[in-house]
Structures are given as structure tokens and as C-alpha cells.
Amino acid sequence: MTAAALTTVERPAHRDPGVLRWLGAYTASATGDMVYHLALSWAAVQGGTPAQAGLVLALSAVTRALLMLVGGVVADRFGPRLIVISSDAVRCVVVLGLAALLALSTPGLWVLAAVALVFGAVDALFMPAVGALPPRITTSGQLARVQGMRGLAYRVSVLAGAPLGGLAVALGGPAAAFGAAGLLFAFSLPLLLALRIAPLPSDEGARERTTALRDLTDGLRHIRRHRVLGPLMIVVALSDLGFVGPLNVGLALLCEQRGWGAAGIGWILAGLGTGAGAASLLLTVRGRVPRAGRVLSWTIALGAGSIAVLAYVPALPTAVAAAVTVGLLAGLSGALCGALTQTACDPAYLGRVTSVSTFFSLGVAPLSFPLTGAAVGLWGPAPVFTASAAVCALGGLYGLSVTSLRHAELPR
């Protein structure tokens, strides 16, 4: 099937069998990932000291961050469909093998560490490829709706993955949970294999590139010279840097200080998820947001204000309401970032560009966790949340100050 054949008729993404197959595979894979991480956490805690368990869990994140940019090069070189299928196949085999091993014996903690390393490397390949795949399966005018559908699928995976993993651990221990995760990865494979994608005119050029380092350099140069992508990556970096610290480490410390406890954390996280789900639903229904660059920047700036409010409200219901606002604005800005990236980028560079934005989100921003925790311990949550919100707001204000990004539009 040619690209022209795919774009002749504008079919809404929610009625496109190809998009729905991709969405089903993504939902199964994301749910499997949730179950896997819960099982790994439980098995690591049961098999070693808290420090050893923390080290095992950190291995995936470190490996993923170190290899993320390489994953973008691989996605552009070999095509996102092949990389996504291969990634889920490897995860399926590794996790089912671990489940069988745990069912038959009691392996050392080093086995869990090895699996964590493999998963980190596979995630570094999978994430850029997932970001590069939507333009191959739908038209540019449907990419915002696809981002909304992907957000809803992620929320479903969060809601289903944790209870499923907990139930599997309760009934059969980590072996059963790893087995459930492996079956979910296996379920995604036939859907991905049935997925038909449009070839791009630049595919042949991508195969003629000489070295991986040259590919990576070309991708970074493409971002730096692009009038939308360059500023957009700066906005992503600043907003993530100001967002993730307070809403991960800072949130737990805030609830402890306020006396809201674990239940308070749960309610606030539920508020964040509700807001983000509403934003995804809005994009899924509307399909397009006019003045996307301006809306993106304003939602980041306003969302930053809501982050600061969290640290000053005295009552839990008010904090939950603020969390809903944060989730709504952050969910909308995140989806618009993804849609603008996919529509503005030359498709030949999309894997590498996605890897750069994901590297900021999952590699650089989490480095603020220790700093956030130490700062809250010294000065309390209010000044730390305010400073983090200021960094996040700076990203939105920068986006508004760059004419090319402020006037960026999604295709009709």
C-alpha cells in the first residue's frame, strides 16, 4: 500500500482499523509493562535488602536513559514497525522465561538485575519507535486525535495494570505476575504483525546513511535548525524539569507534612489521572486544536501555576481539585507536543527527534528527584513547589516568545 493510497480519504482515527490495531497493541504492551514493573518490584524486595532492590529497579531507568538516543537512530534506520514488534517479542520471551525460572527455582537477585538491564535497553528502542509509528498509519490531520487515543490507552493500562499485577502476585507470586505480563506482550504481537504502514519517500535515504554516529549528529542538527522543533525541545525540557520533581518525590513529602498520608497521595494521583484522561478524551473527540503552538505554551504556563497551588492549599479536597487542573493542562500540553513533533518533523528523523524529547522526560528530568527531596527537607514544600513551577512556567513563556512555535498549527 502506498502513502498516496492511505491519504486519499481522510478516515477518522477512531474508525481506522489500522489505528485501532495499533492502539490495541499499545494498550496490551503498556499494561504488560505495568504488571512487569510491579512484579519486578515485589520480587526484588523479597529477594534482597531495600538497597539492593532499589539498585535493581534503577538499572532499567539508567540503561534506558543511556541508550535512548541510540534507540532513535535504530528506529529511523530500520523502521518503527520492525522495532516495536521486535521489542515486544523480546520482552515476551524474557518475561515468560523469568516466570518459568521463578516457578521452578529460586534464582539470585542477579537474574532480576539482568532482566532489568534487558528491559531498559529494549525500552530505549521501543519508545522512539512508538513515537515514530503514528504518521505511518494515519494522515497528518488525525495525529492529534491519535495522541488523545494513546493517552486514553495509557490511562486504561495504569488502571488495569496495577490491580492485575497485584492480583497475580497475591494468587501465584511474582512468577504468576511475570507470566501475565508476558502474555500481554504476546497479545500485542499479532496486532502489530497485521499492521500495514505507509512507506516514506525518505526511506531509501535512511538506509544509505553510513554510521550510527553520523545519523545521530544529523538528527540533532535537524532539531537545532528547525524553526519549530528546536524551540519545542527546549519547552519540553523546561516543562519536564519543573513538573516531575514536585509530582513524584515532592508529592509524597507534601502529603506527609500535611498529615494526609498514603490515602492523600492516592487521591491526588487520582485527580492527576482524571485531568489527564479528560484532556486525552477532549483530543480524541475534537481531533484538532486550533492555534496549537499558542495553546501548548499557555497550558504549560497555567499548569505551572496549578503546581505551585498544590503546596499552599490546606485541605485535601482543594489539593485534589488543583491536581485535576494540573492533569488536564499537562495532559493537553503533552499531547500537543507529541502531535506538533510528528507533524513538523521530517519523517526520516522522527525516531531521533522522539528520542530526544523522551530523553529529557525520562533521562534528564528524573535527575531532579534527589535535589527535590533534599530541598523539601530543608525548606519545606512551598518554596520548592514554587521554584519548580517557575521553571515549568519558563518553558511556556519561552514557547510564547518564539514566533514560529507560537504560530505553529496542526494540519486540518
Q: Do residues 235 and 282 both lie within one domain?
A: yes
Q: Do residues 12 and 57 both lie within one domain?
A: yes
- Whether 288 maps to a domain, the answer reads yes
End-to-end Cα separation, the chain, in angstroms: 23
- Whether 271 maps to a domain, the answer reads yes
Can you give the pLDDT at residue 208? 55
Q: Do residues 140 and 25 both lie within one domain?
A: yes
- Whether 411 maps to a domain, the answer reads no
What nine digits make up the cell of 133? 509509528
Can you give the pLDDT at residue 6? 43
Q: Do residues 9 and 124 both lie within one domain?
A: yes
Of 207, 238, 272, which residue sits at a domain end?
A: 207
- Whether 122 maps to a domain, the answer reads yes
What nine digits make up the cell of 320? 485534589
Q: Could you tell me where the DSSP H helices lie in 244-349? A: 251-258, 261-286, 292-310, 316-344
3-state secondary structure of 152: helix
Can you give the pLDDT at residue 3? 43
What nine digits make up the cell of 267? 487521591
Domain count, the chain: 2
Q: Do residues 231 and 314 both lie within one domain?
A: yes
Q: Do residues 165 and 230 both lie within one domain?
A: no
Q: Do residues 232 and 183 both lie within one domain?
A: no
Assess contact for 352 and 219: CB atoms under 8 A. yes
Distance CA 12, CA 382 (A): 45
Q: What is the CATH number of the domain that holds 94?
A: 1.20.1250.20
- Whether 99 maps to a domain, the answer reads yes
Q: What are the backbone angles phi and psi of residue 337, rounded to the nearest 5°?
A: -60, -45
10-residue block means of pLDDT along the chain (412 residues)?
46 85 94 92 80 80 90 92 95 95 86 92 92 87 90 90 89 92 95 83 52 89 94 94 83 85 88 93 87 94 91 91 93 92 89 91 78 84 91 95 94 80
- Whether 31 maps to a domain, the answer reads yes
- Whether 192 maps to a domain, the answer reads yes
Q: Do residues 193 and 277 both lie within one domain?
A: no
- Whether 88 maps to a domain, the answer reads yes
Of 162, 183, 207, which residue sits at a domain end?
A: 207
Assess contact for 390 and 236: CB atoms under 8 A. no
Q: What are the backbone angles phi and psi of residue 88, rounded to the nearest 5°?
A: -65, -35
Can you give the pLDDT at residue 209? 53
Q: Do residues 81 and 115 both lie within one domain?
A: yes
Q: Do residues 203 and 233 both lie within one domain?
A: no
Can you give the pLDDT at residue 275? 93
Q: Do residues 186 and 222 both lie within one domain?
A: no
Of 168, 188, 207, which residue sits at a domain end?
A: 207
Range of the domain at 395: 212-406
Name the nearest CA neighbour of 128 among 341, 334, 354, 337: 354
Alpha carbon 188 to its chain centroid, in Å, reads 18
Can you give the pLDDT at residue 210? 66
Q: Do residues 192 and 64 both lie within one domain?
A: yes
